[in-house]
Structure 1
Amino acid sequence: MRWFIWLSQLFYLLLLLHFQFTSSSSSFFPLLQHYCAPKSRALQSASFLCDNSYPKMKSWKVSTDCCSWDGVTCDRVRGDVIGLDLSCSWLYGTIPSNISLFLLPHLQHLNLAFNDFSFSPISSGFGQFARLRYLNLSGSWFSSQVPLKLSHLSQLTSLDLSHNGFVYLEASFMKRLVKNMTKLRELQLDEVDMSLVSVSSFMNLSSSLTSLTLEACQLSGRMSNNIFHLPNLCELNLKENRELMGVFPMANWTNPLRFLDVSSMTFSRELSKSIGNLNFLRNLGLNECSFTGSVPTSLGNLTQLTHLDLSYNDFSGEIPSLLSKLKELSYLALQFNQLTRLIPASLGSLMKVTEIFLKSNNFIGHIPSSLSFLKDLRSIDLSNNNFEGKIPNFLTNFRKLIEVDFLSLSIKSKLNYSFLALQHVKLVSRNIIEFPNFLTLSKKLDYLDLSNNRIYGRIPEWMFEIGENLSYLNLSHNFLSSIDRIPWKNLIYLDLRDNLLQGKFPIPPFSTEILFISNNSLTGNIPSMICNISSLRLFDISHNMMDLRMNNFHGAIPDTFAKDNQLITLVFNGNLLEGLLPKSLVNCKKMEVLDLGNNKINDRFPYWLEALPELKVLVLKSNRFYDPIGNHKTSGNIFSKLRILDLSHNEFTGFLPRNYFQNLNAMTTKDEGKKQQYMGETDYYQDSMVVIVKGLDSKLQRILTIFTTIDLSSNKFEGEIPKLTGHIPLSLANLSALESLDLSSNRLVGEIPIQMTSLTFLAKLNLSRNQLTGPIPQGKQFGTFENDPYYGNLGLYGFPLSIECSNDELTLPTLPSIFQEDNVSLFSSGFGWKAVLTGYGCGLLFGLAMGYAVFKMENLNG
Structure 2
Amino acid sequence: MQPLCHDDESYALLQLKESLVINESASSDPSAYPKVASWKVHGESGDCCSWEGVECDGDSGHVIGLDLSSSCLYGSIDSNSSLFHLVQLRRLNLADNDFNNSEIPSEIRNLSRLFDLNLSMSGFTGQIPAEILELSDLVSLALGDCGLQGEFPMGIFQLPNLRIFSIRYNPYLTGYLPEFQSGSKLETLMLTGTKFSGHLPESLGNLKSLKEFHVAKCYFSGVVPSSLGNLTQLFGLFLSDNKLHGAIPESIYRLQNLEILDLSNNFFSGSLELNRFRNLASLLLSYNNLSLLTSHNATFPLPKLQLLSLEGCNLGELPSFLRDQNQLEILEIGDNKLEGHIPKWFMNMRSLPIPPPAIYEFKVSNNKFNGEIPEVICNLTSLSVLDLSNNNLSGKLPPCLGNKSNTASGKIPKSLANCTKLEILNLEQTNINDVFPSWLGVLPDLKVLILRSNGLHGVIGKPETNVEFPRLQIVDLSNNSFKGKLPLEYFRNWTAMKNVHNEPLIYMQADTSIDISRASVTNPYPYSMTMTNKGVMILYEKIQDSLTAIDLSSNGFEGGIPEVLGDLKALHLLNLSNNFLSGRIPLSLSNLKELEALDLSQNKLSGEIPVQLAQLTFLEIFNVSHNFLSGSIPRGNQFGAFDNTSFDANSGLCGEPLSKKCRNGEDPLPAPKEDEGSGYPLEFGWKVVVIGYATGLLIGVILGCVMNTRKYEWVVKNYFARWEK
Q: TM-score, normalised by structure 2?
A: 0.62
Question: Which residue does 2:383 correspond to in 1?
Answer: 536
**Relative to 1, partners in 2 of residues 1:290 and 1:332: Cα closer, same or farther, differing over 3 Å?**
farther
2:681 to 834, 837, 842: 842
Q: Percent identity?
A: 28
Superposition map of 1:462-541 within 5 A: 469=327, 471=329, 483-485=343-345, 509=356, 511-516=358-363, 519=367, 523-524=371-372, 527=375, 535-541=382-388
Rounded Cα–Cα distance in structure 2 between residues aligned with 1:109 and 1:185: 22
Q: What amino acid maps onto 1:198 in structure 2?
A: Q
Deviates further, 710-719 or 754-763: 754-763
Aligned residues of 2:272 and 2:291 also touching (Cα < 8 A): yes
Question: Which residue does 1:805 correspond to in 2?
Answer: 665
Rounded Cα–Cα distance in structure 2 between residues aligned with 1:382 and 1:132: 42
Q: What amino acid maps onto 2:233 in structure 1?
A: S
**Relative to 1, partners in 2 of residues 1:736 and 1:135: Cα closer, same or farther, differing over 3 Å?**
farther
Q: What amino acid maps onto 1:295 in structure 2?
A: S
2:600 to 706, 720, 743: 743
- 1:603 matched to 2:444? The reply is no
Rounded Cα–Cα distance in structure 2 between residues aligned with 1:550 and 1:292: 43
Question: Which residue does 1:395 correspond to in 2?
Answer: none
Q: What amino acid maps onto 1:153 in structure 2?
A: L
Aligned residues of 1:110 and 1:135 also touching (Cα < 8 A): no
Question: Which residue does 1:724 correspond to in 2?
Answer: 565
- 1:361 matched to 2:261? The reply is no
1:271 to 168, 179, 185: 179
- Secondary structure of 1:714's counterpart equals coil
TM-superposed deviation, 1:718: 1.4
Rounded Cα–Cα distance in structure 2 between residues aligned with 1:334 and 1:729: 58
Q: What amino acid maps onto 1:212 in structure 2?
A: L
- Secondary structure of 2:449's counterpart equals strand
**Relative to 1, partners in 2 of residues 1:410 and 1:780: Cα closer, same or farther, differing over 3 Å?**
closer
Question: Which residue does 1:283 correspond to in 2?
Answer: 187
**Relative to 1, partners in 2 of residues 1:238 and 1:596: Cα closer, same or farther, differing over 3 Å?**
closer
Alpha-carbon deviations, 1:516-561, whole Å to 9, x = none? 456465534653x856855322223344xxxxx753435x895864
Count of residues in correspondence between the two structures? 585
TM-superposed deviation, 1:761: 3.1
Question: Which residue does 2:543 correspond to in 1?
Answer: 703
Superposition map of 1:314-353 within 5 A: 330-331=233-234
- 1:649 matched to 2:649? The reply is no
TM-superposed deviation, 1:214: 1.4
Aligned residues of 2:199 and 2:221 also touching (Cα < 8 A): yes
Rounded Cα–Cα distance in structure 2 between residues aligned with 1:662 and 1:720: 16
TM-superposed deviation, 1:642: 1.9
Rounded Cα–Cα distance in structure 1 between residues aligned with 2:214 and 2:34: 47
Question: Which residue does 1:688 correspond to in 2?
Answer: 528
**Relative to 1, partners in 2 of residues 1:660 and 1:310: Cα closer, same or farther, differing over 3 Å?**
closer
**Relative to 1, partners in 2 of residues 1:214 and 1:467: Cα closer, same or farther, differing over 3 Å?**
closer
Question: Which residue does 2:516 correspond to in 1?
Answer: none
TM-superposed deviation, 1:331: 3.5
Rounded Cα–Cα distance in structure 2 between residues aligned with 1:533 and 1:332: 30
Superposition map of 1:413-428 within 5 A: none
Rounded Cα–Cα distance in structure 2 between residues aligned with 1:767 and 1:658: 21
Deviates further, 605-614 or 736-745: 736-745
- 1:630 matched to 2:432? The reply is no
Rounded Cα–Cα distance in structure 1 between residues aligned with 2:611 and 2:636: 10
- 1:162 matched to 2:95? The reply is yes
Rounded Cα–Cα distance in structure 2 between residues aligned with 1:91 and 1:308: 24
Aligned residues of 1:174 and 1:201 also touching (Cα < 8 A): no
**Relative to 1, partners in 2 of residues 1:598 and 1:507: Cα closer, same or farther, differing over 3 Å?**
farther
TM-superposed deviation, 1:715: 1.1
1:733 to 565, 590, 605: 590
Q: What amino acid maps onto 2:470 in structure 1?
A: S
Rounded Cα–Cα distance in structure 2 between residues aligned with 1:782 and 1:752: 11
- 1:197 matched to 2:85? The reply is no
TM-superposed deviation, 1:240: 5.7
**Relative to 1, partners in 2 of residues 1:108 and 1:153: Cα closer, same or farther, differing over 3 Å?**
farther
Larger-gyration structure (1/2) = 1
Q: What amino acid maps onto 1:190 in structure 2?
A: S
Rounded Cα–Cα distance in structure 1 between residues aligned with 2:314 and 2:643: 62
Alpha-carbon deviations, 1:567-595, whole Å to 9, x = none? 6xx566xxxx3322211111222222222
Question: Which residue does 1:136 correspond to in 2?
Answer: 67
What is the RMSD of the two structures over their aligned residues, measured on CA atoms?
Answer: 6.0
- 1:759 matched to 2:598? The reply is no
- Secondary structure of 1:600's counterpart equals coil
Aligned residues of 2:330 and 2:362 also touching (Cα < 8 A): no
Aligned residues of 1:458 and 1:483 also touching (Cα < 8 A): no
Aligned residues of 1:215 and 1:239 also touching (Cα < 8 A): yes
Superposition map of 1:556-595 within 5 A: 558=399, 561-562=402-403, 570=405, 577-595=408-426
Alpha-carbon deviations, 1:764-817, whole Å to 9, x = none? 434456566777655444456677756677887888851333799xxxxxxxxx
TM-superposed deviation, 1:628: 0.7
**Relative to 1, partners in 2 of residues 1:102 and 1:792: Cα closer, same or farther, differing over 3 Å?**
farther
Aligned residues of 2:190 and 2:214 also touching (Cα < 8 A): yes
TM-superposed deviation, 1:485: 4.6
**Relative to 1, partners in 2 of residues 1:507 and 1:665: Cα closer, same or farther, differing over 3 Å?**
farther
TM-superposed deviation, 1:174: 2.7
Aligned residues of 1:178 and 1:204 also touching (Cα < 8 A): no
**Relative to 1, partners in 2 of residues 1:135 and 1:308: Cα closer, same or farther, differing over 3 Å?**
closer
1:223 to 143, 152, 156: 152
**Relative to 1, partners in 2 of residues 1:480 and 1:75: Cα closer, same or farther, differing over 3 Å?**
farther
Question: Which residue does 2:203 correspond to in 1?
Answer: 295
Q: What amino acid maps onto 1:624 in structure 2?
A: G
Deviates further, 508-517 or 611-620: 508-517
TM-superposed deviation, 1:383: 13
Alpha-carbon deviations, 1:195-217, whole Å to 9, x = none? x4133464687788665321343
Aligned residues of 1:748 and 1:771 also touching (Cα < 8 A): yes
Higher relative contact order (CA 8 A, sep 6+): 2
2:143 to 193, 214, 218: 214
Aligned residues of 1:408 and 1:430 also touching (Cα < 8 A): yes
- Secondary structure of 1:331's counterpart equals coil
**Relative to 1, partners in 2 of residues 1:841 and 1:271: Cα closer, same or farther, differing over 3 Å?**
same
Aligned residues of 2:626 and 2:648 also touching (Cα < 8 A): yes
TM-superposed deviation, 1:225: 5.1
Rounded Cα–Cα distance in structure 2 between residues aligned with 1:692 and 1:603: 23
**Relative to 1, partners in 2 of residues 1:803 and 1:480: Cα closer, same or farther, differing over 3 Å?**
closer
Deviates further, 746-755 or 445-454: 445-454
Q: What amino acid maps onto 1:515 in structure 2?
A: F
TM-superposed deviation, 1:630: 1.8
- 1:188 matched to 2:118? The reply is yes
Aligned residues of 2:342 and 2:373 also touching (Cα < 8 A): no
Q: What amino acid maps onto 1:709 in structure 2?
A: A
Aligned residues of 2:284 and 2:308 also touching (Cα < 8 A): yes
Question: Which residue does 1:553 correspond to in 2?
Answer: 395
TM-superposed deviation, 1:454: 9.5
TM-superposed deviation, 1:753: 4.2
Aligned residues of 1:578 and 1:601 also touching (Cα < 8 A): yes
Question: Which residue does 1:672 correspond to in 2?
Answer: 502
Q: Which runs of 5+ in 2 are unaligned?
A: 18-27, 55-61, 240-245, 264-269, 513-522, 569-584, 669-678, 686-725
- Secondary structure of 2:176's counterpart equals coil
Q: What amino acid maps onto 2:149 in structure 1?
A: S
**Relative to 1, partners in 2 of residues 1:436 and 1:96: Cα closer, same or farther, differing over 3 Å?**
same
Aligned residues of 2:317 and 2:338 also touching (Cα < 8 A): yes
- Secondary structure of 2:614's counterpart equals helix
Higher strand share: 2
